[in-house]
Structure 1
Amino acid sequence: MSNSDKQHSKHIVTGGIPLKQAQKVLVMIHGRGGTAEDILSLATHLAVQDFALLAPQATNHTWYPYSFMAPEEANEPWLSSALSLLKDIVADLVAQGISEERIYFMGFSQGACLTLEFVTRNATRYGGVVALTGGLIGEKIGLQNYQGDFKGTPVFIGTSNPDMHVPVERVYATANILRDKNAAVTEKVYNGMGHTINQDEIDQANRLVFQSEV
């Protein structure tokens, strides 16, 4: 595999209202094998009509090659590259006058894992976080990696029990770590839902995260 395949280029697909007009921004992170366009299509179901939408595209359609519960070093350097890309996106937005309190994140599956890992390593008061079927990354959760304070950031985590990729125990452990860092976490487990997104998750995201100021 070439070095270029081990790094994620800054290829971002946009949607919603133009960034220069936006008061709020939603960063949408696709799952393994998915595309930026796939995850952007979810926005039609979300209460984000006044948001700018940014969806980065993973190189070769995957953020890291192995399970999110593989030893962390097995997923390097792809994982660090993906985390750096998200950090760059946030820094770019802040430089354009969008404060972190007005930046929101949403991810599905591998994208949910990456979302949770990024925000917990860089905890601050974000607009909100939606993680659909995901948990913190690593064979064991590395508490030493997590810095900062969420200061009440609303977080919704939805998952199936069972799920073929994400054990429910990891979801509960993740939710508790975010709570310890002062996130306002709601996790909801759907029995036998399968590896997908359901309408109730969309409703919860809209109520708890995207309309949190209403």
Structure 2
Amino acid sequence: MYQHSKNIVTAGIPAENAKSALVMIHGRGASAQSMVPLSSYLNTNDMAVFAPEASRHSWYPTSFIQPVEENQPALDSALEVISELVKDIIGSGIPAEQIYFLGFSQGACLTLEYVTRNAMKYGGVIAFTGGLIGKDLRMENYQGDFGQTTILMTTGDPDAHVPLKRVKESAAIMEKMNGRMHVIVYPAKQHTITNDEIDLANQLFFSAAVNL
């Protein structure tokens, strides 16, 4: 098992000059450097961008639907990295309601797990192919109120790594916690991020950033 160090790649404009921030969380086998270029396809010109880097290119060792214990202590360490990053962003003057999260695959699972354990009014949450973590979801882990935060979850049906049942189960939990859910299922979509998903994210979250 492994611990994660706080290794953050930044892009966009400096946090002290930004009114909002985008936290981008990469998937298994990827890196922060490979995740950041995705922001160029989003209307995020006025945002500070932060991409944390996982040790060994993986946030936790096994599938997200295995018992949580099999992914410890890596999972707790990953959640702590995100927590510290969010505290730093808020400390720089950007409030939680102007922080946006975007994750893909394993990064989408980590994104959803963090925000649902720490539910509050965020700018928005984008989970490209992911769900909450654990063989069985433990409701005592999930606390707070999303305050009608818009949450986008996209996935393929079927997907080789993320069962649709878990996507829907996760969305139902977040909706009960006052999340404004958008769950989009694409028939036979490959395990990747498509142009349609990027367009949808821009429409839901970043359209106001155009031409600022």
Same fold (TM over 0.5): yes
What's 2:97 paired with?
A: 101
Identical aligned residues as a percent: 52
What's 2:148 paired with?
A: 152
TM-score in terms of structure 2 length: 0.96
Q: Hey, what's the Cα distance between the residues in 2 that align with 1:206 and 1:170?
A: 25
Q: Which runs of 5+ in 2 are unaligned?
A: none
Task: Please report how far the alpha carbon of residue 210 of structure 1 lies from its aligned counterpart in structure 2 after TM superposition.
Answer: 2.4
1:129 is the counterpart of 2:125: yes
What's 1:199 paired with?
A: 195
Contact 2:15 2:94 in 1 (8 A): no
Q: Hey, what's the Cα distance between the residues in 2 that align with 1:43 and 1:58?
A: 19
The CA deviation string for residues 13-55 of structure 1, in whole angstroms up to 9 with x for no partner, is 0111111111000000000000001111111111111111000
Aligned length: 210
Contact 1:124 1:150 in 2 (8 A): yes
TM-score in terms of structure 1 length: 0.95
Contact 1:155 1:209 in 2 (8 A): no
Runs of 4+ in 1 over 6 A off after TM superposition: none
What's 1:113 paired with?
A: 109
Q: Residue 154 of structure 2: SS of its match in structure 1?
A: strand
Aligned CA distance change for structure 1 residues 39 and 100 (closer, same or farther; 3 Å): same
Q: Which runs of 5+ in 1 are unaligned?
A: none
What's 2:55 paired with?
A: 59
Task: Please report how far the alpha carbon of residue 92 of structure 1 lies from its aligned counterpart in structure 2 after TM superposition.
Answer: 1.1
Q: Hey, what's the Cα distance between the residues in 2 that align with 1:209 and 1:157?
A: 13
Counterpart AA for 1:33:
G
* Aligned-residue RMSD, C-alpha: 1.2
Q: Residue 177 of structure 1: SS of its match in structure 2?
A: helix
Q: Residue 211 of structure 1: SS of its match in structure 2?
A: helix
